[in-house]
A and B are shown apart, each in its own frame.
Chain A
Amino acid sequence: MDPASQDVIQKEIIISAPAERVYSAITDPEKIVAWFPNEVEGSLAVGERPILSFGADGKTQLYIVDARPHEYFAYRWVPGSQHFMGDVLTVPNTLVEFFITEEAEGTKVVLKESGFASLPSPHKEESLKDNNGGWEFMMGRLGKLFAAN
């Protein structure tokens, strides 16, 4: 894949609290509900497929990709959709990553949501499953397309 098509959304914030506390707020099902979903069904451990509930906005099922205490947490989901139930790895999805580092000014959290690295098969139209590559390609290129107009 073209490296330029990797990063889609990246945001960061500085928090005046230790990295350990920030990591816990992101990865502990009892704490994440204070700032992100209303409810978590299941575990946020690596390899699990928990369901996040957003009240009236519905539910979405994740796949937890990686968790390294106090520095990194990653999952896959269907972006922008809060009503996907099933195996997210079988549909076009994005990788959401939290990078936590302690800096002089506080704990820095970098949020990155990026496309899915998969072999593109742009000529198959039968199922969304075959379009992971297409999704990523498009997500990466869309910004450039609009920048050009």
Chain B
Amino acid sequence: MKLAQTYKALGDPVRLKMVQRLSENPTYTLGSLSKGLGVTRQGARKHLMMLEEAKLVRLVPEGRETKVLLNKASLTKAKSFIAELERQWETRLEALRDFTEQ
């Protein structure tokens, strides 16, 4: 799974709201998660499919409902990507300083 796919999946207000809700409360179902987002149930379903494709959530059928589970590992990966970029810049700036001060 590519990081770019994670970013793309999170790069939308509706999907980000879904992920935020899930991180606050792990008991959402497809039905309850789709409410109050300002999109139709069908639209919400499309957004969820994108999150599932990016492995950010898992959809688990349970009786007549479908539970939506957040995959925290994918989120952590996205977070460590930014941390890694920050670390790279620190190293580069130090190298720039060392070179310029020679």
Contact = CB atoms under 8 A, between A and B. Distances in A.
Interface string A9-43: 10111111100011001100001001110000000
A125 B97 CA distance: 42
Interface of B is mostly: helix
B97 A13 contact: yes
A4 interface: no
B92 interface: yes
Given A17-B101, A142-B82, A148-B23, A128 B89 contact: no
Interface of A: 8-9, 11-17, 21-22, 25-26, 31, 34-36, 79-81, 92, 109, 111, 113, 120, 122-123, 125, 128, 131, 133-139, 141-143, 145-146, 148-149
Interface of B: 3-4, 7-8, 10-14, 16, 19-20, 23-24, 50, 75, 78-79, 81-82, 84-86, 89-90, 92-101
A139 B19 CA distance: 15
B99 A25 contact: yes
Contact of A80 (B12, B81, B92): B81
A35 B95 contact: yes
Nearest to B92: A36
Contact of A13 (B11, B12, B93): B93
